[in-house]
Amino acid sequence: RTTPEGTPGRETVLANFRRQADALLPLQSANGLWPTVVDEPSFYLESSGSALAGAAIIEGVARGWLDAARFGPAAQRARDGILGELEGSGRLGSVSGPTGPMLDIAAYNAIPTDVLTRYGQGTALLIGAADLDAASAP
């Protein structure tokens, strides 16, 4: 984000970012969130990872790193999906509890989502800030 143009390696990082964003597009659900394991569409939709991906896509579009016509709708769906998970108290719902490496992929789908996590709340703030920054960009 703050790496100036011309910095060695910057274009490589941007190319990797574009590839990752491109790979995420077809995995996004209709409501804007991604599954807890992104390439497992039958797994539950998870908010914190979706907020992080959405914030990155929003910023990528705003900075011209990602094509607005292609990625803009996905950015809006991610933002709207996160807004849909905000409870009246301000708590972000559908946030996976702490997760470490697991030997069985199915175990990721069993992580509880009903615990309050500070990182979940932080990711909601991050996508909100990215959206506000994008809206105020020249």
Instruction: Render each residue's pLDDT in the chain as its tens digit; 138 residues.
Output: 678 889 999 999 999 999 999 999 999 999 999 999 999 999 999 999 999 999 999 999 999 999 999 999 999 999 999 999 999 988 999 999 999 999 999 999 999 998 888 899 999 999 999 999 999 987
Q: What is the pTM of this model?
A: 0.94
**pLDDT at position 117:** 86
- Domain containing 83: what range? 47-138
Structural domain includes residue 124: yes
CB of 29 within 8 A of CB of 94?
Answer: no
C-alpha span between 85 and 96 (Å, rounded): 13
Structural domain includes residue 22: no
Task: Pull the structure tokens for residue 112.
Answer: 């509880």
Task: Report the domain count for the chain.
Answer: 1
Structural domain includes residue 53: yes
CA torsion through residues 20, 118, 81, 40, sign: positive
Structural domain includes residue 109: yes
Structural domain includes residue 34: no
- The tokens 């702490």 sit on which residue? 98
Structural domain includes residue 98: yes
Structural domain includes residue 57: yes
Structural domain includes residue 18: no
Please name the helix (run of DSSP H) or strand (run of DSSP E) that holds residue 34, with its range, or none: strand 34-35
